[in-house]
Chain A
């Protein structure tokens, strides 16, 4: 039962951004690894050594009174089925459709015990079309949410835009999600190490993955748009107050809060308290110990829609000793 959890990489991106090209690159590279690939249509995939599973994106609401609590029923079923095979996989790649909301995919890995036992969400990789991204933002929430959820962003097709336009797109991406690693690419060309085995959802690697996580963040006021907010504090956090505040916040605003992450200096605790969440779901654990003499700074990050910076700031400050 102590079998290692298979890492799952989710590839998102708007129609035509270059997801399938990226997928083909991963599969055709000589890495000696075996992947199961969950796709929505049979494209020009099917590298001999890998298994391609055709899925219909089946987004299920959990019948637990929480409307934002949705999971991908097909993923639960497919992962269970894959584990019945004798051959084991080095990884699972999930390609979502261009209009998919990454929320349900991510939440599946927080919610379903069987999926959690067998697999772990490694990272959400979003491919962005440099030429069309700004236009896609106007067409609905999908392109924006795909960027908001991302741990790694491929700003792709950079050869099709001017340096000025590229800078504009990059700035817009950063305003939505400054925490994702951004790589500028052409034809989805990227070193696989930049997108696979990132451990982006591994609480132990929150610091390692985001070296600038503890630098001062930038606050925005974009209203309806997705934006990120970060708060820091050097006074210790009262664990009971924080739990109460965060619990109520996710309960009430979980639909708007797409991702959250935090490193907390809990009053009197020798270790960092780390957590991260997707909508209402949250994982938390003790992280590395504080070094003697180290500044015990807490930091909290939210990426979401309609975030009220003043209110959140006050809420967090009320949790401090």
Chain B
């Protein structure tokens, strides 16, 4: 992986990119598993597909896939298309050409959170108080939880899912053997959740602007306070040494190597002045992190050298979605105004 942020080119020119104005807020974006297509979930019901290659010609806007807004989107874990969820209660599988098949329809409910396991082909969706798990065998429901499920993620080995809700997190075994769920309790409402890339920790962002992290093996937990806003975006580095968090003016990474972050301050780096980070996404392979600000600025950071470079200038529209290509050479970003951006980072 070669992204040298010391290269002076980063300081003088923005990297090659494709920018498309869609006019509808972007709820999520994702690259397909084969890395060839990038998709944006839009507030007008459309899922806009663009070639990952920023020079390749792109199709125009498609017909809406959902009625209302598309609220969630991930790469299809078993194909080269995508999975989308909407406020029309529909869960769709989209081919690389955008052709949709309905997986589930929960009338009057929203499908607002999706997560997939990277290799076993299973994905999960939140529908009200329930979590749906979809695999070859079909759709299974887990729950109900104490409240509407606010976030969902898979364990590293794919054998469990964790659902965030009011009062904590519930961990379900999703294998064929039915085991009772495990409750990780912490008072208040949990609004974001990410299971660490090594499977050892579950981190949540809370309604009270804190982060809560549970150690799975020891059943111990910790709280990180002091954020000026809710932390709605969390991202673990590929090597699980760092937990990146939004809602700070610079990249903020809690150290999880060795004994963990207790008693240590987070590592902070990058250029202040762009506002607060609204989305962060750790690089899928290497030690980089991308961050989008409420001002619209996009930055790329390198935790080893603590350098950061600007990928997109502030434009007044908050960054709302970020995604890396599987190889880590391209980055997709969307904002509240509906600008779709794909950046090619090879220089």
Q: Is the CB of B187 within 8 A of A63?
A: yes
Tell me which of A58, A71, A81 contacts B71 (CB under 8 A): A81
Q: Is the CB of A61 within 8 A of B188?
A: yes
B166 at the interface (CB under 8 A from A): yes
Interface window among A82-90, A224-232, A250-258, A291-299? A82-90
Tell me which of A53, A56, A86 contacts B25 (CB under 8 A): A86
Q: Which chain B residues (180-202) contact chain A, with CB distance < 8 Å? A: 186-189
B112 at the interface (CB under 8 A from A): yes
In the assembled complex, the Cα of A64 lies from the Cα of B129 at a distance in Å of 24
Q: Is the CB of B87 within 8 A of A113?
A: no
Interface residues in A, total, Cβ within 8 A: 26
Q: Is the CB of B148 within 8 A of A86?
A: no
Asked, given contacts A84-B71, A86-B24, A86-B42, whether A114 binds B230 with beta carbons under 8 Å apart, the answer is: yes
A28 at the interface (CB under 8 A from B): no
Asked, given contacts A58-B148, A86-B44, whether A81 binds B112 with beta carbons under 8 Å apart, the answer is: yes
Q: Is the CB of A60 within 8 A of B188?
A: yes
A290 at the interface (CB under 8 A from B): no
B268 at the interface (CB under 8 A from A): no
Tell me which of A1, A56, A58, A81 contacts B318 (CB under 8 A): A1
Q: Is the CB of A81 within 8 A of B188?
A: no
Q: Is the CB of B147 within 8 A of A73?
A: yes
Residues of chain B within 8 A (CB-CB) of A86 are 23-25, 42-44, 69, 338
In the assembled complex, the Cα of A162 lies from the Cα of B129 at a distance in Å of 47
Q: Is the CB of A63 within 8 A of B207?
A: yes
**In the complex, how many angstroms separate the beta carbon of A243 from the nearest chain B beta carbon?**
23
Q: Is the CB of A63 within 8 A of B25?
A: no
Q: Which chain A residues (253-305) contact chain B, with CB distance < 8 Å? A: none
Q: Which chain A residues (77-114) contact chain B, with CB distance < 8 Å? A: 77, 81, 83-87, 112-114
Q: Which chain B residues (30-50) contact chain A, with CB distance < 8 Å? A: 42-44
Give the A-B pair count, Cβ closer than 8 A.
75
A-B contact pairs, 21 of them (CB 8 A): A1-B318, A42-B108, A54-B108, A56-B128, A60-B189, A63-B208, A73-B147, A73-B148, A73-B189, A81-B69, A81-B110, A81-B112, A84-B87, A85-B25, A85-B44, A85-B68, A85-B87, A86-B23, A86-B338, A87-B44, A114-B230
Closest 3 pairs between A and B when the two form their complex, measured CB to CB = A63-B188, A86-B24, A86-B44
20 additional A-B pairs beyond A54-B109, A73-B166, A86-B43, beta carbons within 8 Å, are A1-B318, A53-B87, A56-B148, A58-B166, A60-B188, A60-B207, A73-B147, A73-B207, A74-B147, A76-B207, A77-B150, A81-B87, A81-B110, A84-B25, A84-B69, A85-B68, A85-B69, A86-B42, A86-B69, A113-B230
B294 at the interface (CB under 8 A from A): yes
Q: Which residue of A lies closest to B87 (CB)?
A: A81
In the assembled complex, the Cα of A112 lies from the Cα of B112 at a distance in Å of 20
Residues of chain B within 8 A (CB-CB) of A56 are 128-129, 148
A62 at the interface (CB under 8 A from B): yes
Residues of chain A within 8 A (CB-CB) of B109 are 54
**In the complex, how many angstroms separate the beta carbon of B194 from the nearest chain A beta carbon?**
18
In the assembled complex, the Cα of A152 lies from the Cα of B147 at a distance in Å of 31
Asked, given contacts A58-B148, A74-B148, whether A83 binds B166 with beta carbons under 8 Å apart, the answer is: no
Residues of chain B within 8 A (CB-CB) of A15 are none
Q: Which residues of A are in contact with B by a Cβ distance under 8 Å? A: 1, 42, 51, 53-54, 56, 58, 60-64, 71, 73-74, 76-77, 81, 83-87, 112-114
> Among B68, B186, B229, B294, which residue has the most Cβ atoms of chain A within 10 A?
B68
Q: Is the CB of B69 within 8 A of A58?
A: no
Tell me which of A42, A62, A81, A85 contacts B207 (CB under 8 A): A62
Q: Which residue of A lies closest to B210 (CB)?
A: A63
Residues of chain B within 8 A (CB-CB) of A42 are 108
Residues of chain B within 8 A (CB-CB) of A77 are 112, 148, 150
In the assembled complex, the Cα of A61 lies from the Cα of B23 at a distance in Å of 37
Residues of chain B within 8 A (CB-CB) of A54 are 108-109
Q: Is the CB of B294 within 8 A of A83?
A: no
B243 at the interface (CB under 8 A from A): no
**In the complex, how many angstroms separate the beta carbon of A58 from the nearest chain B beta carbon?**
5
In the assembled complex, the Cα of A51 lies from the Cα of B27 at a distance in Å of 19
> Among B23, B71, B317, which residue has the most Cβ atoms of chain A within 10 A?
B71
In the assembled complex, the Cα of A84 lies from the Cα of B108 at a distance in Å of 17
**In the complex, how many angstroms separate the beta carbon of B331 from the nearest chain A beta carbon?**
21
Q: Is the CB of A58 within 8 A of B147?
A: yes
Residues of chain B within 8 A (CB-CB) of A51 are 68
Residues of chain A within 8 A (CB-CB) of B187 are 61, 63
In the assembled complex, the Cα of A1 lies from the Cα of B42 at a distance in Å of 18
Residues of chain A within 8 A (CB-CB) of B230 are 113-114
Asked, given contacts A63-B208, A81-B87, A86-B44, whether A113 binds B229 with beta carbons under 8 Å apart, the answer is: yes
Q: Is the CB of B316 within 8 A of A1?
A: yes
Q: Which chain B residues (15-32) contact chain A, with CB distance < 8 Å? A: 23-25, 27
Residues of chain A within 8 A (CB-CB) of B24 are 86
**In the complex, how many angstroms separate the beta carbon of A95 from the nearest chain B beta carbon?**
15
Residues of chain A within 8 A (CB-CB) of B44 are 85-87
In the assembled complex, the Cα of A112 lies from the Cα of B208 at a distance in Å of 9
Cβ contacts B87-123/A at 8 Å (1 or 0 each): 1000000000000000000001110100000000000
Q: Is the CB of B148 within 8 A of A62?
A: no
**In the complex, how many angstroms separate the beta carbon of A23 from the nearest chain B beta carbon?**
17
**In the complex, how many angstroms separate the beta carbon of A84 from the nearest chain B beta carbon?**
5
> Among B109, B110, B189, B230, which residue has the most Cβ atoms of chain A within 10 A?
B189
Q: Which residue of A lies closest to B42 (CB)?
A: A86
